[in-house]
Structure 1
């Protein structure tokens, strides 16, 4: 059983960490890399749009994935 709230909180503090907690290592690493690149893009202003989107998407995805895992609907 995975705790959806914990997964979301982990992603709040570090994008991708909630996915790693849920056992989706590759997706978590992809989130971490994308978030890092998005942070670098803040130098050319587009990162101010993409960074919050990735951050929120990571939290929502971690929460929903934990709920799916608990319901037994894993892929």
Structure 2
């Protein structure tokens, strides 16, 4: 298990990866990572700056989720 703060930082920049390195919820981490890729592409290409804000909110949620995982 990795320090929750490190997992949160990693998950902010790569949503879902923090969950994977914590080892507690690998399936959820993979799903979050795939969603982040699709969401990032859709939002940035179609909404521009607003899409960046929405993606940042998703990344913050992923970081919070990685931080609160109890293994």
User: TM (normalized to structure 2)?
Assistant: 0.78
> Paired residue for 2:56, among 45, 52, 55?
52
Following TM superposition, by how much is the alpha carbon of 1:15 offset from its aligned partner in structure 2, in angstroms?
Answer: 1.1
Q: Which moved more, 1:41-50 or 1:7-16?
A: 41-50
Corresponding pairs, count: 67
Structure 2: 5+ residue stretches without partners: none
Structure 1: 5+ residue stretches without partners: 70-75
RMSD over equivalenced CA pairs, Å:
1.7
Following TM superposition, by how much is the alpha carbon of 1:22 offset from its aligned partner in structure 2, in angstroms?
Answer: 1.4
Q: Which has the larger radius of gyration?
A: 1
